Structure 1
Amino acid sequence: MFNWDDPLAEKPATDKVDNELLPPMQQAANELDTPEPSTASVGELPLNAKAVNADDKRVVNGLADINQLAPFKYPWAWNYFLNANKNHWTPLDINMAQDVHDYRHKLTLEERHVYENVLSYLTTSDILAMRNIGLAVMEKMTAPELQIYQARQVYEEALHTWTYQHCIETIGLDQSEIYNRYRVVPEIYQKIQLANKRLDTVMRSDIDLRDKDELENFVMSYAFFAGIFEGCWFYNGFSPIFALQRRGLMKGTGEQLQYIMRDEVMHASFGIRVCRQIIKEENVKLDPKKIQEMFEEADAAEATYGGYILRDPILGYSKEAHHGQFRFTANRRAKQLGFEEPFPGAEATLPWLDEQANMRKEKNFFETKVTEYQTGGGLKWD
C-alpha cells in the first residue's frame, strides 16, 4: 500500500481495518490498490485498430499513434537522444576551489562585473529554455522520437540551471541580488523580455497548428529559440567567461560552461532541424521581412547587453568583439535554418570560440588519462 506521508517508507505490517473507518485520502489510496475485475479478454484490441505506418508520422499534425515509438520516421531524432545520454555530467564533478580564490583575490572590479552579470542573465535564460521546450513545444510534437529527445533537453536545461546556482553558491555571491538583477537591469531584461514575448504566443491553450497563421507563428517562435536564443545568445553568451578561462582565471566555471555549451549546441542543432522539417512537411512560407526583423531585434538587444556587461573592456575581450561574434554566428544559424544572412559580411571576431564546442578530447574528471568525450559539438548542422 502506498504511504502518502512517506513514499519511500516500507509498508507497515498492520491488521486489516475497515476501509470506511479510515480518512478519505487513505480510503482513496486503498481503492487504488484494489484491482478492478477485468471485463476485456486478454489481447483485445480497440475498434478499428491498425498497425502504425511510419509514413503517417509528422512533426506536427501527425496521424500516427503518438505512444508508439517505432517504426521511426525520424531516426536522426532518436540518435540525438542516444548521443545526449553519452554527455551525462553534473556540476559537482568539477572542482571550483580555485575559482573561489580567483574571484576574491585575482579578478579586477571589471572582471567581477562581467562574471556576475553573465551568471545573472544565464540563471533566468535556461529556465526560459526549459519552459519553451517542456511547455510550448513538446506537447505539439506528434512523433514520439522527437518528444523523447526533447524530454532529455528539458532535463539538461534544469541541469544547467543547477550549474549556475552551484557556481553562485560556491563563489559566495548574494543569491537574491544575482537572481533579481535581470529584473532591475534594463540591458539584461531586454533579452528576457524578447524571449518571453515569443514564448507567450505559443503557450496558449487554444493554439491550432492546422491554422496557417498559427503554424507560421509557431515555427517563427521555435526558430527564434533554436537559432537565436540557444544558437546565438547562449553560444555567444558564454564567451566572456571563456575569455577569463583562457587566461587561467575562473577555470572551474569555464569548464562547467564548456559542458553546458556542448549540450546547447545539440539543442540548437536539433531545433533547427525540426524547424526545417516542419517547413518542408507543412509547406510553410515564412515572411522574409519578419525573419529579418527577428534577427535585427535580437541583434539590438545583444548589442545593448554587451555594452552593459563590457562597459569597461577586460583583457582580451571587448563589447565590439562580443557584438561582432553575435552577428557572425547569427549568419550561420540563419543559413542553417534556410534563411538569408541577416548581416552580410559579418566576420568572426572570436575565432577561438568554436574550439570550446568542437574540442573532441577532454581530460577525465578524476584521472589524468585523456578520453573521448561524446559531444554534439562535432555534429553536422545540415
Structure 2
Amino acid sequence: MKTTLSFDDWGTPVSSSASIGASINSTTQPVSHNVDSQTYVATGSTMAAVDPEQKRVVNGQADINQLAPFKYPWAWSFFLNANRNHWTPLEISMAQDVHDYQHKLTPAERHVFENVLAYLTTSDILAMRNIGLAVMEKMSAPELQIYQARQVYEEALHTWTYQHCIETLGIDQREIYNRYRVVPEIHGKIALANRRLQGVLQSGRPLTDRDALHEFAMAYLFFAAVFEGCWFYNGFSPIFALQRRGLMKGAAEQLQYIMRDEVLHCAFGIRVVRQLLDEENLTLDPQALRQMWDEAEAAEMAYAGYILREPILGYNAGLHVEQFRYVANRRARQVGLTEPFPGAENVLPWLDEQANLRKEKNFFETRVTEYQTGGALVW
C-alpha cells in the first residue's frame, strides 16, 4: 500500500490515512530518489495570517517565527540601538594598566580592583544564562527575543572583557575565578541571583499558572532592576573612582562600554516587566517586593564592606551603599513601584556620566575605536 506523506503546521512529516502498519512496511522498501514532488505537497496545512495584536510578552497566540508587523516596535529599536555600541576588548590598550597594577596601586586599591573583577566574571555568566535559558524561551514575540539574543552575546562579550583584563594583568586565574565560591561576601550576591534563576528554570509550570507567572515576573524584575540595574550599574563605580585619579584607565574604559550595554539591558527589562504586568493584569506582591529590595541591600552592604574594608582615596563603603539605595529608588520609579529607600541621596553624581562615553582619538596614534554610527546612543 502506498503511503502519501503530509506535514503538520511546523513542517513535521505525518502519516496519511493509510494504516500505521502500511506506513511501517513502506519504510522497508527501497527509496526512490525520483519521487513525484506532489507526494510532498502539504495538504490542509495553511495557517491564518498573523494579527500583531495577538502577540503578547508571554502566552501569546501569534507565530513566534514571524517578526513583523511589530506589536512592540520599541523592542526592535532597542536591538538597533544596541548594535551601535559595538566593540571588543582588544581595541583598548591595557599597557598603562599593567604598570599601574604592578607599581602604582596600593594594597587596598589592588584588593578593590581584583574583587570587583572576581564578582563580575561570574555575574555576567549568570546574566547570560538567565536571558538565554530562563527568559528567551518564554517570550512569545520575536522582536523581544531578537534583542535578548543580542543581550546574550553582550553578556558573553563582557565575560571575555573581564578575562582579557585578568590575563593581561597577570592575575592568577585559578584563584580569582574561585573567589565567588570562597569569599562569603561575593558568594552571597551570586547565590541570591542563582536562587532567582533556578526558581524559574526548575518550576516546570506554564506561565498560564498565576503563581508561576508571578514568580517569573519577580525573577525578571530582579535581574533587570537589581542585578543589572543596581548591582552592575553601581558595581563599576570603585573602578571608575580609580579612573578619576588617572589609574587603571584602560580597564575603566572597558567598563564604560559594558555599562552602556547594561543601561540598555536594564531599560529593556523594565519595559518588558511593565508590559507584562499590564497585559496579564498582574500586581506584584508588596511583601515579595520588600523582601527583594531588603535582600539586595543586605547583600550589597556585605559586599561593599568586604571590597572596601579599607577605604580608598575618594571612595568608601558608605558611598557605595548609599548610591545603591539611590539607584534602587530610580529603578523602582521606572517600573511604577514605590521607592524602597526613601530619602537616599545621589552621593556619586559623576556615575551617570560614565554611560555617556564619547571617545576622541588621534587618528595617527591609535586605531579608531568609536563604533557608533548615526550619533550618540539613544537611551
Q: Tell me the TM-score normalised to structure 2 length.
A: 0.87
Q: What is the CA–CA distance in structure 2 between the aligned matches of 1:258 and 1:111, rounded to whole Å?
A: 19
Match of 1:362 among 359, 363, 366: 359
Q: Which amino acid aligns with 1:241?
A: I
Partner amino acid, structure 2, of 1:60: V
SS of 2:70's equivalent in the other structure is: coil
Superposition pairs for residues 249-288 of structure 1, below 5 Å? 249-288=247-286
Distance in 1 of aligned mates of 2:271 and 2:111: 36
Instruction: Quote the residue 1:82 is aligned against.
Output: 80
| 2:292 alignment counterpart | 294
- Seen in structure 2, the aligned counterparts of structure 1 residues 71 and 35 have a Cα distance that, compared at 3 Å, is farther
What does the per-residue CA deviation read over 1:192-247, in whole Å, with 9 as the maximum and x for residues that have no partner? 00000000011126221000000010000000000000000000000000000010
Map of 1:182 onto structure 2 = 180
Structure 1 segment 183-222 matched on structure 2, within 5 A = 183-204=181-202, 206-222=204-220
Identity of aligned residues (%): 67
CA distance in 2, matches of 1:240, 1:300: 19
Structure 1 pair 93/43, CA: closer, same or farther in 2 (3 Å)? farther
- Name the aligned partner's letter for residue 158 of structure 1: A
Contact 1:54–1:73, Cα closer than 8 Å, also in 2: yes
Deviation of 1:86 (Å):
1.2
Give 1:363's aligned amino acid.
Answer: E
Residue deviations 1:113-146 (CA, integer Å, cap 9, x gap): 0000000000000000000000000000000000
Q: Note the alpha carbon deviations across 1:139-198, whole angstroms, 9 max, x for none.
A: 000000000000000000000000000000000000000000110000000000000000
Q: Deviations over 1:268-303 (max 9, x none)?
A: 000000000000000011111210110111001001
Q: Which moved more, 1:318-327 or 1:197-206?
A: 197-206
Q: Distance in 2 between matches of 1:297 and 1:189?
A: 13
Residue in structure 2 matched with residue 310 of structure 1 by the alignment: 308
Once the two structures are overlaid, the 10-residue window that deviates more, 361-370 or 63-72, is: 361-370
Separation in 2, partners of 1:50, 1:327: 50
CA shift, 1:363, in A, is 2.2
- 2:165 is the counterpart of 1:167: yes
Shift of 1:70: 0.5
The alignment partner of 1:362 has SS state of coil
Tell me what 2:136 maps to. 138
Partners of 1:59 and 1:143 within 8 A in 2:
yes
1:362, distance to aligned residue in structure 2 (A): 2.0
Query: What CA distance in whole angstroms lies between the structure 1 residues aligned with 2:343 and 2:362?
Result: 41
Match of 2:149 among 151, 160, 163: 151
Decide whether the 8 Å contact of 2:85 with 2:377 is kept in 1. Answer: no
Give the distance between the partners of 2:251 and 2:297, measured in 1 at CA: 26
Task: Provide the residue aligned with 1:112 in structure 2.
Answer: 110
Cα pair distance change 1:205/1:290, threshold 3 Å: closer
Q: Secondary structure at the match of 1:363?
A: coil
Contact 1:231 1:268 in 2 (8 A): yes
Report the Cα distance in structure 2 between the residues aligned to 1:366 and 1:38, rounded to whole angstroms.
63
In the alignment, what sits opposite 1:31? Answer: none
Distance 2:72 2:172 in 1: 45
1:59 pairs with 2:60: no
Give, in whole Å, the separation in 2 of the partners of 1:71 and 1:317: 49
Task: Give the aligned residue type for 1:108.
Answer: T
2:27 equivalent in structure 1: none
Structure 1, unaligned runs of 5 or more:
1-33
Aligned residue number for residue 45 of structure 2: 47
Residue segments in structure 2 that go unaligned for 5+ positions in a row: 1-31
Amino acid at match of 2:264: M
For 1:5, the equivalent position in structure 2 comes to none
Q: Are the counterparts in 2 of residues 266 and 376 from structure 1 also a CA contact under 8 Å? A: no
Q: Which moved more, 1:279-288 or 1:365-374?
A: 365-374
1:163–1:323 Cα change, 3 Å: same
The number of aligned residues is: 346
2:22 equivalent in structure 1: none
| 1:3 corresponding residue in structure 2 | none
1:21-32 map, 5 Å: none
Q: 1:158 to 1:371 in 2, by over 3 A?
A: closer
1:40, CA displacement in angstroms?
4.7
Q: 1:46 to 1:151 in 2, by over 3 A?
A: farther
